[in-house]
Amino acid sequence: MSADDHSAGRRARAIRAKEWAQVWLDPSTFGLVVLMPLILMILFGNAVSLDVKGSRLGVVDQDHSAASRELVQVLRHNKSFSVIEGPALGHLEDGLKDGSLRGIAVIPDGFGQALIRGQPRDVQLVTDGAQVNIATFLTGHMRGALRDWAAARAAEGGKAAPPVLEIVTRYTYNPGLQSRFMLVPGAIGIVMAMIGSLLTALIMAREYERGTMEGLLSTPITIPSLVLSKLIPYYVLGLGSTGICVLVAVFGYGLPFRGSIIALVLIASAFLAAVLGQGLLISAGTKNQFVSTQFALLSGFLPSLLLSGFLFEIDSMPRAIQWLTYIVPARYLIPSLQSVFLVGDVWRIFLPNIAVLMGFGAFFFFRVTRAIKRRIA
Amino acid sequence: MAEAPLLRLTDVAKRFKGSRRGAPHVQALNGINLILAPGRSLGLVGPDAGGKTTLMRILAGLVEADRGEVEVMGRPVANLDRSLVGYMPQSGALYGELTVRQNLELYARLRGLEPGDSPERMDMLYRATGLSPFTDRAANRLSGGMRQKLALACAVVAAPPLMLLDEPSVGVDPVSRREIWDLALELAGPGSAIVWTTSILDDAGKCDDVILLHSGHILYNGPPEGLAEEARGHTFARPLPPTSRRAFLQEALERPEVISATMSGKSLRAVCRSASPPPGKGWIPITPEAEDGFARMLDDGLPLAPSALAAAFPLRAAQPDRPAIAALQLTRRYGAFTAARDITFTVFPGEIFGLLGPNGAGKSTTFRMLCGLLSPSSGRGTVAGRELSSARAQAREAMGYMPQKFSLYGDLSVLANLRFVAGAYGLIGNKARDAIDRVVNALDLSSFTAQMAGLLPLGIKQRLALGAAVLHTPPVLFLDEPTSGVDPLIRREFWHHINAIAARGTAVLVTTHFMDEAENCDRLLLINRSEAIASGTPDDLKRAVIGKSDPTLEEAFITLIEAQGKGESEAA
C-alpha cells in the first residue's frame, strides 16, 4: 500500500467517523431510522388491508328452493362474508356503487331443479371492478365456499353430483389467503424506499447550506471517496431499519420467513445502493435541505407506493405507465422480498433484480460524483 | 537566483452569470497579475463585492478562472495538490454540533495529518488557540473569537506552505483580532505564505504586501506603508470641542473637499481630495494611515450627501427626563452560568449609546433582552417608555432592529425582503414604496434589488439589514455589530447615516468591535465576563490608560479588560 492510498483511507475514515458523530448527535436520525419504520409498519400492516374478512356480500336468491336456501345458509356461516339478502339484483346494486357492498351473489332461478337433474347451474358473482384486488380475493373465497357446500352435500349422500370439470385452486404460500402476507413485504419495500432517499437527501444539502462543503472540497479528499464515505454510514442505518421492519413482520404479523438471511441482506443492500444513491443525487443537485426533502418524497416514496405493484397491479396499468414502472427501484425489490418471506430463496428471481438494482446504484453514484463539482460559485 | 514563487497569476479574469435571466454578467475579476514568494504574507483588501473571495476561491481551486494562468507552487491550479494549501472559507466550515476536538481531528485527517501520530502538533494547536479547556465543547457553543481561532486551526492544521484565510478576523473583538493574527503566524510552518482577506486595514497593515481590489481590478499592489503614502499631504486634523462633536463631523463629511472624516479622541481627522486643508480654522497636516490611502484610492469624487435615510425620520424633541431605552439591573442566567449580571443604563432620545466588550462577554445577551428577544431572569427594561415584560409588542413597534447575523430571507430577492419588512411594520401602498425607494437609494442597493439576498457579499447584506431596520423610521434603533464585515468607506457612510438619524432625535443602541467607531458614541458601557466594568464618554474610558497622552479607545479597551482579569486573579 502506497503512502497515498494510506492517507486516502484515513480521509475516508475521517469522513465516516464524522458522519457517525453527526448521526449520533442528531435525534431526528433516530426518529427516521427507528421510529418511522415502526410507525409505517404498524400503519401498513393494520390500516391497509385487502382482506375480505366479514366483507359485506349481497345475496339474491331467485330460486327459493331447498338447495338455494341451504347455499345461502352456508354463505351466512362463512366468516369471510357478512350476508345481506335482497329480493332482486336491482335492489342491491346501489350498495355496490356506494361501496357498502363488496359484491353480490345471484343464485339463478331453477338452480335447485338443475341440481336435481345433475346439471348444476352457475352462481353469478358481481364484484366491484374498481377494487381489483378485493374482487379477486372475493372470487376466491366464493369459490371456496361453493366447493365446501358441494362437498358437504356429497358427504350427506345428497344428489349434488360433482361437476364434470372443476378448477381446483390451491393458495400456495398464502393458504389463509391473507392480504397481509402480500402487503407486509411490500410495505417493507416502501419503508426502505422512503428512509433510504430521505436519509441521504439531507446530508449533501446540509453541507452546502452550512458552508462546510467549501471546507471539505478544499481538502485533498477525492469526490468518489467523499461520496462513498458519506454513503456507508447511511447504508448501515438503512440495513438497521430493514432489520426492524423484518422483525416486526415476523414477530408482529406472524409472517413466515422461508428464505435465508443472506438473500435478504443481498437484496436489501442492492436496493439501498439504489435509493441512497438517488437521495444523494437529489441532495447534491438541489443543495437545499427543504427542496431536497420534498423531492425525495416525490421521487422516492410516491412512485414506490404507486408504481411498484405494491398496491396496484402493474399488469392492469396502461402500457405507458407499465414502462414507467421499470425505472422505479421498488419494483425490483418487492417481488424478491415477497419471495424471501413467503416462498424461500428463488435465486432465479433474486439475481436479475439484484443486478438491476446494483445498476441503479452504480448509475446514481456516477451521477453524484459528476454533480458535485469542485466548484463553489 | 530568486526562489520560485508560490503563486503566480497572469492576467486572470472571471465573470459570473447574472442571477436572473437577462441580468447582466458580473465581472468579478479582470486582469489580475500577482506573484507571491514563499514566507511572505499578503493582505487582500477592498470594498465589498470587490472580488476578494472570488480570488481566494480561485487560489484554492474552488472556482475556475475564465481566462489567464493560475500557478500554485509551480503547477497549474487544475493539478493543485490540496494537501499543500490550507484554506479557511469565510463561513469557517466548522461543524457546529461537533466538538472542538472532533472538528480539528476531522480536518487534520482530511489534510493528511494523523492526530495520533503527531501529538506535538495537536498539543501545540490546542495551546496556541487557547482551546485546550474546551476540547469537548460543541463548536457552536464557542464565542465568536474562539470559533474563528478553531476554524483557522482547522484550515492550517498541517502547517501547509500556502495559507488562504478569508476574513479570519470578521466579527471579533480587538483583543481576539490581535490574537488571531498572532495565531496565524504561530501556526504557519517555516516558509509558509499567508494570503489574508480583510475589511480591516489595521490587519492588512501587518502583512508584508497589500493588494487593494476594487470592482475586480487591482488598484494597489505593494507594501502597506505605500497605501498610506497614497494619502500623503491630504490628511489633516483639527481639535474637536467637547460638545456637539458629531455635528462637526457631519459638517466636515458633507464638504466637497473632504473624502472621509473620522473622530479620533479629541480631534477630527479628514482626508481631502486636494493637498490643502478644508476651510476653517485649526487644521494641521498629519501623518496618513493605510485607511486614508484606501479612502483616497476608492474616492468616487462625490461629496457625501446629507443622509437621505435620516431625512425621513421625524424630528423628535429630546426629552431629558424620559429615557428612550432603560435597563434596570438586567440579569440573565442559564443554569449555573450568568450571562449578564445587574446591567443598568439609560439612553435618551438623540443619543448614541455603545455597548462594548469582548466576544462572549454578555453584550449580545443584554442587547437581546432589551429587544424583547430574551426574557431577563431578573431586572427589567423599557423601550420608548413601554415595559418589555408587559407591553412587548408595543415596545417592538417602536424599535428598528439590525441583528448581528443576517436574518432576512436568503432565498428572496433584496426587493422582496424589503417589501416583506415594510409589510411587517404596517407600511403599505405608496408609503411602503417610498420607504423602500429611499432605503435602496440611500444605501446604494439599486444594482442588487433583483438578486437573492442570501448570495450577496457580506457587506451588501449588512447594508440591506440596516435598510430593513430603518424602513419604518422608528424612535429607537438597535444595531448589533452593524459594520461587521463592511469595508472602511462604507463603514463611514453607515456612521454618517447613524449619526444623522440620531441627530433627528432617535435613540441608538449599538454594539461594535471597532473602537474608532465607538468614538461616535455619546456614552459607552464596557461589558466583560457578564458584568459592566466601565461606563461613560469615550474620554472617560480613556482615563483608564495611565501614562500616555491622548490614548486610543482601543488601548483603553485592552487596558480595562486586562485590569479586570488581573483584579480577579489577585482576588482568587
pLDDT in tens, A303-315: 888 888 877 778 8
Q: How far does the CA of residue B103 sit from the closest CA of chain A (Å)?
A: 8
Which domain-ending residue is among B210, B227, B244? B227
| Phi/psi-derived region of residue B93, left when phi > 0, alpha when psi is between -120 and 50, beta in every other case | left
Do residues B142 and B199 share a domain? yes
Contact B107, B95 (CB under 8 A): no
Q: Do A220 and B114 touch (CB under 8 A)?
A: no
pLDDT in tens, B287-315: 998 888 988 988 877 777 888 888 888 88
Q: C-alpha angle A330/A332/A336, rounded to 5°?
A: 105
Query: Which strands form B235-239's sheet, in the order they lie side by side?
Result: B258-264, B267-272, B235-239, B284-285
User: How many CB contacts within 8 angstroms connect chain A with chain B?
Assistant: 91
Do residues B383 and B280 share a domain? no
Chain B residues whose CB is inside 8 A of the A22 CB are: 95, 97-98
Contact A88, A60 (CB under 8 A): yes
Q: Do A25 and B97 touch (CB under 8 A)?
A: yes
Name the residue facing B89 among A14, A22, A211 (closest C-beta): A211
The reported pLDDT for the residue numbered B289 is 87
**Cα–Cα distance, A85 to A58 (Å, whole number):** 6
Q: How many domains does chain B have?
A: 3
Give the chain A residue whose CA is nearest to the CA of B102: A18
The reported pLDDT for the residue numbered A261 is 92
Q: Do B102 and A18 touch (CB under 8 A)?
A: yes
Residue B568 has pLDDT above 60, yes or no: no
Which CATH number goes with the domain that contains B87? 3.40.50.300
Do residues B275 and B375 share a domain? no
In a domain, residue B436? The reply is no
ipTM over 0.90: no
Of A133-142, A274-283, B271-280, the poorest mean pLDDT is in A133-142
Which has the closest alpha carbon to A350: A365, A339, A358, A341?
Answer: A339
The reported pLDDT for the residue numbered A262 is 93
pLDDT in tens, A201-226: 888 888 988 889 999 999 999 889 99
Q: Do A14 and B64 touch (CB under 8 A)?
A: no
The reported pLDDT for the residue numbered A165 is 46
Q: Looking up cell 511572505, which residue turns up?
A: B40
CB neighbours of residue B21 within 10 Å: 6
In a domain, residue B240? The reply is yes
Residue A174 has pLDDT above 70, yes or no: no
Point out which residues pair with B163 in neighbouring strands. Answer: B86, B194
Helix H or strand E encompassing B547: none
Q: Do A14 and B105 touch (CB under 8 A)?
A: yes
pLDDT in tens, B459-486: 889 899 999 999 999 999 999 989 887 8
Residue B397 has pLDDT above 90, yes or no: no
Summarize the confidence of residues A108-136 as an average pLDDT: 78
Helix H or strand E encompassing A169: none
Residue A343 has pLDDT above 90, yes or no: no
Give the chain B residue whose CA is nearest to the CA of A14: B106
More confidently predicted of A110 and A362: A362
Helix H or strand E encompassing B163: strand B162-166
The reported pLDDT for the residue numbered A173 is 56
Q: pLDDT above 90 covers what percent of chain B?
A: 43
The reported pLDDT for the residue numbered A49 is 60
The reported pLDDT for the residue numbered A159 is 53
Q: Do B91 and A218 touch (CB under 8 A)?
A: no
In a domain, residue B298? The reply is no
The reported pLDDT for the residue numbered B342 is 93
In a domain, residue B451? The reply is no
The reported pLDDT for the residue numbered A75 is 83
Residue B1 has pLDDT above 60, yes or no: no
Which has the closest alpha carbon to A70: A125, A152, A144, A126?
Answer: A152
Q: pLDDT above 90 covers what percent of chain A?
A: 21
The reported pLDDT for the residue numbered B347 is 94
Residue B166 has pLDDT above 90, yes or no: yes
Do residues B79 and B133 share a domain? yes
Summarize the confidence of residues B379-389 as an average pLDDT: 90
Of A150-159, B178-187, B225-234, B523-532, the poorest mean pLDDT is in A150-159
Do residues B142 and B269 share a domain? no
Cell digits for B145?
473569537
Q: How far does the CA of residue B374 sit from the closest CA of chain A (Å)?
A: 25
Name the residue facing B62 among A15, A18, A214 (closest C-beta): A214
The string of DSSP letters for B184-228 reads HHHHSPTT-EEEEE-S-HHHHTTSSEEEEEETTEEEEEE-HHHHH
Do residues B80 and B204 share a domain? yes
The reported pLDDT for the residue numbered B197 is 92
In a domain, residue B338? The reply is yes
Q: Do A374 and B62 touch (CB under 8 A)?
A: yes
Q: Do A18 and B98 touch (CB under 8 A)?
A: yes
Domains of chain A: 3-48+178-371 (no CATH), 55-155 (3.40.1710.10)
**Cα–Cα distance, B353 to B347 (Å, whole number):** 6
Give the chain A residue whose CA is nearest to the CA of B14: A377
The reported pLDDT for the residue numbered B8 is 92
Q: Do A218 and B62 touch (CB under 8 A)?
A: yes
Summarize the confidence of residues A161-175 as an average pLDDT: 52
The reported pLDDT for the residue numbered B572 is 41
Residue A377 has pLDDT above 50, yes or no: no
In a domain, residue B463? The reply is no
Q: How far does the CA of residue A287 sit from the closest CA of chain B (Å)?
A: 12
Name the residue facing B109 among A14, A374, A375 (closest C-beta): A14
Q: pLDDT above 70 covers what percent of chain A?
A: 89
Q: Which of A13, A203, A214 to probe by mutation at the B interface, max B CB count within 10 Å?
A: A214
Name the residue facing A215 among B64, B89, B109 (closest C-beta): B89
pLDDT in tens, B47-101: 877 889 899 999 999 998 999 999 998 889 888 888 899 999 988 899 999 999 9
Helix (H, G, I), strand (E, B) or coil at A69: helix
Q: Do B63 and A375 touch (CB under 8 A)?
A: yes
Q: Rg of chain B over CA atoms, in angstroms?
A: 24
Q: Which residues contact A355 (CB under 8 A, 6 or more apart)?
A: none
Do residues B204 and B277 share a domain? no
The reported pLDDT for the residue numbered B280 is 83
Count, residues in chain B: 572
Residue A158 has pLDDT above 70, yes or no: no
Residue B423 has pLDDT above 50, yes or no: yes
When the pLDDT of each residue in chain B is averaged and rounded to a whole number, the result is 88
Do residues B66 and B189 share a domain? yes
In a domain, residue B409? The reply is no
Summarize the confidence of residues B128-137 as an average pLDDT: 91
Chain B residues whose CB is inside 8 A of the A375 CB are: 62-64
Helix H or strand E encompassing B479: strand B476-480
Do residues B314 and B252 share a domain? no
Over the range A189-203, which residues count as b (16 or more CB within 10 Å of their CB) and which as e?
bbbbbbbbbbbbbbb
B72 burial (CB, 10 Å; 0-12 / 13-18 / 19+) is buried
Report chain B residues touching chain A, CB-CB < 8 A: 16, 54, 57, 60-64, 81-83, 85, 87, 89-98, 102, 105-107, 109-112, 114, 154-155
Cα–Cα distances in angstroms (integers) from residue A104 to residues A54, A125, A169, A374, B475, in the given order: 14, 6, 21, 66, 78
The reported pLDDT for the residue numbered B127 is 92
Summarize the confidence of residues B430-451 as an average pLDDT: 91
Do residues B110 and B253 share a domain? no
Cell digits for A223?
469526490
Q: Is A90 at the interface with chain B, CB within 8 A? A: no
The reported pLDDT for the residue numbered B571 is 47
The reported pLDDT for the residue numbered A345 is 87
Do residues B321 and B204 share a domain? no
Do residues B259 and B346 share a domain? no
Which has the closest alpha carbon to B97: A160, A24, A203?
Answer: A24
In a domain, residue B125? The reply is yes
Residue B439 has pLDDT above 80, yes or no: yes
The reported pLDDT for the residue numbered B488 is 79
Q: Is A7 at the interface with chain B, CB within 8 A? A: yes
Per-residue pLDDT band for A170 (boundaries 50, 70, 90) equals: low
The reported pLDDT for the residue numbered B24 is 67
Q: Domain range for residue B13? A: 7-227
Task: Report residue B342 CA to chain centroid gap.
Answer: 28
Contact B355, B362 (CB under 8 A): no
